[in-house]
């Protein structure tokens, strides 16, 4: 009798867990379903010319065709390489500068005014300068992406170092940590939640500037170029396919890179709620 | 285990209204392996004094020496436990936290691990070596903090109201545990508290401080046999005497075990 009750309880729990998962999936899909339906209604109502506002199934078809022909993957790979190149520069220099500013009063006094002035200027405003200085092509676009996306990384690393709890520093010092080891074993892990936030914002910034600059820098391949180029030929479906790829790459980076790193570090340590 | 000599220590605070004397001419002699509690009202400078002994603040005048050696800053001859649970490093497990001082000291790994585990066993947390601090209760976190401060084997343990933020029942357990740990390790302990019952339970001697400026008002010897019974008449008498020195009305209502 006791056993039967337990079995039923377990079966119940299993079922409700399954139902729970379905509810989660439904909740995630719901907003997309709403927007998609509105899109379809607008597309089929003929408010815009058909070419300029294709229904989603046509976008999907051209997405598949462009993927099979290898055009879309080629664009995507070039863009991803530029993105990673620029972002890597920003991550390395941004965290270094930000942490330095947080640690050294003098570095803060010198760099903070410069960073504060540079940060609010839209990234695209720097683009003509970079193109004139470093020429058209990959080099200047990667450099520009690195430069512009370094700002949020600098700010957040700087804040993160300043926000490291005084009591951690005191504890470590009372246990004999010198400056070097204090930095490595306390300041860096203590600032990590902020540094990760900075990297995330930096990556978003990198996307924004990269897609725009790919059109300006006269590169032959790239999602930005695809999207702007498609406008000339009224290829709205190709534009939308390009936008979809950007969204997919963004989600993949967020879910499989940032969330993984966070779950392994700051979430596991209880410094950030999941 | 080293004796501590505190001689004429004074410290001033810079405030917008000018200099305020935080601690004035404090002199205390503490024997090796003695357990001394410092009690006093808020703002009497008891935590400041502890921070001076720890080397976080330097006194305006006066001198502190531990085992005959003058204190000039922080040092590994002292272990410090704070009130704040957040003192543990959240990115290290209990074992990692306890190992920290040993790592700084350069103790290599099989040995380091062994000592750290031993310390965790001492505070009865051997089952939680791999837990991160945020999975531990407040009392457990404070126990890790005690183990951490003891692990690199300082001769002096400095404690700043380590149990003040715990609930009353956990606090009683922790006091018993600390008394056991002290009996086993024989460290010289300076323990700041505002809880009179806690001071009587733990201390060999209690230093009573008064505020504005922070001075030593009285030093009282607690001559009760250990382990102490907080409900015994002698215990309550000691508490009453201590409260008298703190300026409390000892008749009736004030007898709640709190001196602040």
Contact B162, B120 (CB under 8 A): no
Q: A61 and A101, same structural domain?
A: yes
Please answer yes or no on whether A271 and B105 come within 8 Å at the CB atom. no
Q: State the CATH number of the domain containing residue A132.
A: 1.10.3720.10
Angle between helices B109-122 and B94-105 (to 10 degrees): 130
- HSE, side-chain direction, 13 A CA sphere, residue B39: 29
Q: Does residue A254 fall inside a structural domain?
A: yes
How much is the pLDDT for B259? 41
Residue with tokens 């879309």, as numbered in its chain: A72
B130-147 per-position pLDDT tens digit: 999 999 999 999 999 999
Are residue A31 and residue A130 in the same domain, yes or no?
no
What pLDDT was estimated at residue A14? 57
Cβ B44 vs Cβ B209: under 8 Å = yes
Rounded CA-CA distance B82/B25 in Å is 24
| Cα–Cα distance measured from residue B120 to residue B102, given in angstroms and rounded to the nearest whole number | 14
Token digits for A170? 């005191």
- The domain locations on chain B are 1-77+157-168+180-223, 83-153
Residue B69 to residues A167, B2, B11, B77, B220: CA-CA distances in angstroms?
A: 26, 10, 20, 10, 26
Mean pLDDT per 10-residue run, chain A (274 residues)? Answer: 47 68 87 91 88 89 91 92 95 95 93 92 90 89 94 96 93 92 94 94 92 83 88 86 90 89 91 81
Q: Within a domain: residue A269?
A: no
B8-26 residue pLDDT tens: 899 988 888 778 888 888 8
The answer to whether residues A9 and A128 belong to one domain is no
Give strand ranges (E) for B31-135. Answer: 35-39, 61-66, 69-70, 78-81
Q: Are residues A12 and A103 in the same domain?
A: no
Q: How far apart are CA B260 and CA A71, in angstroms?
A: 76
Expressed as residue numbers, the domain containing A1 is 1-47
Task: Please report, to the nearest 10 degrees, the dihedral formed by the alpha carbons of residues B197, B199, B201, B202 taken in order.
Answer: 160
The answer to whether residue A259 neighbours chain B at the CB level (below 8 Å) is no
**A270/B148 touch (CB, cutoff 8 Å), yes or no:** no
pLDDT, mean of residues B243-256 = 62
* CB contact residues (below 8 A), chain B span 221-260, against chain A: none
Domain count of the fold of chain A: 2
Residues A23 and A66 in one domain: no
Interface mutation vs chain A, best among B71, B75, B91, B135, most A CBs within 10 Å: B91
Inspect the interface and report whether the beta carbons of A176 and B105 lie closer than 8 Å: yes
* Yes or no, beta carbons of B76 and A173 under 8 Å apart: no
| Dist CA B70 CA B55 (whole Å) | 11
CATH architecture of the domain with residue range B1-77+157-168+180-223: 3-Layer(aba) Sandwich (3.40)
- The total of other beta-carbon atoms located within 10 Å of residue A241's CB is 26
Q: Does the beta carbon of B162 lie under 8 angstroms from any beta carbon of chain A?
A: no
Which residues make Cβ contacts (< 8 Å) with residue A202, sequence separation at least 6? A87, A90, A91, A94, A149, A150, A151, A152, A153
- B168 burial (CB, 10 Å; 0-12 / 13-18 / 19+) is exposed
Among residues A26, A47, A68, which one ends one of the domains? A47
| Cis-peptide, bond into residue B199, ω within 30° of zero | no
Would A273 be classed as within a structural domain? no
Same domain, A61 and A32: no
Q: B63: closest CA among B2, B11, B1? A: B11
- Distance (Å) of CA A61 to CA A30, A42, A58: 23, 19, 5
Chain A residues 163-222 within an 8 A CB cutoff of chain B: 165, 167-168, 170-177, 181, 185-186, 189-190, 192
- Residue B51 to chain A, least CA–CA distance (Å): 10
Instruction: Average the pLDDT over B231-246 and give the result.
Output: 90
A269 interface with B at CB cutoff 8 Å: yes
Same domain (yes/no): A21, A85: no
Q: Residue B248 has what pLDDT?
A: 65
pLDDT tens-digit readout, B184-198: 999 999 999 989 999
Residue B208: the pLDDT is 92
Q: Phi-psi region for residue B62, left (φ > 0), alpha (ψ -120 to 50) or beta?
A: left
**CA-based angle A166:A167:A172, to the nearest 5?**
100
State how far Cα B117 lies from the chain centre.
23
pLDDT reported for residue A11: 52
Phi, psi (deg, nearest 5) at residue A46:
75, 25
Residues written for chain B:
260
Sign of the alpha-carbon torsion through A197, A173, B34, B44: negative
CA distances from A162 to A52, A105, B85, B89 (A): 51, 11, 20, 16
Smallest CA–CA distance from B74 into chain A, residue = A174
| Judgement on whether residues A108 and A203 belong to the same structural domain of the protein | yes
Q: Is B257 left (phi over 0), alpha (psi -120 to 50) or beta?
A: left
Strand order in the sheet with B4-15: B18-30, B4-15, B61-66, B69-70
Domain match, A194 and A118 both: yes
- Same-domain check for residues A125 and A171: yes
Query: What is chain B's mean pLDDT, rounded?
Result: 88
pLDDT by residue (tens digit) across B35-74?
Answer: 999 998 888 888 889 999 999 998 889 999 998 889 888 8
Distance from CA of A107 to the nearest CA of B (A): 25
């Amino acid at each position: 009798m006791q056993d039967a009750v337990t079995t039923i309880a377990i079966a119940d729990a299993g079922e409700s867990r399954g139902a729970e998962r379905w509810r989660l999936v439904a909740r995630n899909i719901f907003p997309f379903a709403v927007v998609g339906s509105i899109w379809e209604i607008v597309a089929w109502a003929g408010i815009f010319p058909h070419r300029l506002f294709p229904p989603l199934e046509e976008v999907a078809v051209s997405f598949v065709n462009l993927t099979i022909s290898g055009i879309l993957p080629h664009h995507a790979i070039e863009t991803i390489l530029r993105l990673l190149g620029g972002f890597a520069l920003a991550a390395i220099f941004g965290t270094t500068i930000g942490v330095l500013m947080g640690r050294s009063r003098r570095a803060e006094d010198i760099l903070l005014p410069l960073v504060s002035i540079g940060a609010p200027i839209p990234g695209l405003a720097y683009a003509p300068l970079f193109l004139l200085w470093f020429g058209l092509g990959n080099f200047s676009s990667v450099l520009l992406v690195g430069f512009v996306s370094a700002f949020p990384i600098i700010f957040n690393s700087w804040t993160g170092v300043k926000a490291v709890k005084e009591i951690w520093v005191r504890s470590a010092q009372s246990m004999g940590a010198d400056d070097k080891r204090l930095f490595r074993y306390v300041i860096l892990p203590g600032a990590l939640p902020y540094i990760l936030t900075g990297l995330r914002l930096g990556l978003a910034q990198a996307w924004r500037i990269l897609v725009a600059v790919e059109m300006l820098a006269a590169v032959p391949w790239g999602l930005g170029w695809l999207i702007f180029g498609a406008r000339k030929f009224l290829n709205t479906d190709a534009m939308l396919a390009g936008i979809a790829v950007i969204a997919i790459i963004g989600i993949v980076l967020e879910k499989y890179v940032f969330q993984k790193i966070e779950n392994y570090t700051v979430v596991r340590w209880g410094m950030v709620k999941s | 285990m080293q004796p501590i000599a505190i001689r004429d220590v004074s410290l001033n605070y810079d405030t917008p209204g000018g200099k305020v004397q935080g601690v004035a001419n404090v002199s205390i002699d503490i024997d090796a392996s003695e357990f001394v509690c410092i009690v006093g009202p808020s703002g009497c400078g008891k935590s400041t004094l502890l921070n001076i002994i720890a080397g976080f603040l330097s006194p305006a005048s006066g001198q502190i020496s531990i085992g005959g050696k003058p204190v000039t800053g922080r040092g590994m001859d002292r272990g410090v436990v704070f009130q704040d649970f957040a003192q543990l490093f959240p990115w290290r497990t209990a074992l990692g936290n306890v190992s920290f001082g040993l790592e700084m000291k350069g103790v290599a790994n099989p040995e380091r691990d062994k000592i750290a585990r031993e310390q965790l066993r001492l505070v009865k947390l051997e089952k939680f070596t791999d837990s991160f601090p945020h999975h531990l209760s407040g009392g457990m976190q404070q126990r890790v903090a005690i183990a951490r401060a003891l692990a690199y084997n300082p001769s002096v343990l400095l404690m700043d109201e380590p149990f003040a933020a715990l609930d009353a029942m956990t606090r009683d357990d922790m006091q018993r545990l600390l008394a056991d740990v002290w009996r086993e390790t024989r460290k010289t302990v300076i323990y700041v508290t505002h809880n009179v019952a806690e001071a009587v339970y733990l201390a060999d001697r209690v230093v009573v401080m008064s505020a504005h400026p922070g001075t030593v008002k009285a030093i009282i010897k607690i001559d009760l046999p250990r382990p102490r019974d907080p409900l015994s008449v002698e215990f309550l008498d000691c508490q009453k005497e201590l409260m008298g020195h703190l300026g409390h009305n000892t008749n009736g209502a004030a007898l709640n075990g709190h001196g602040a």
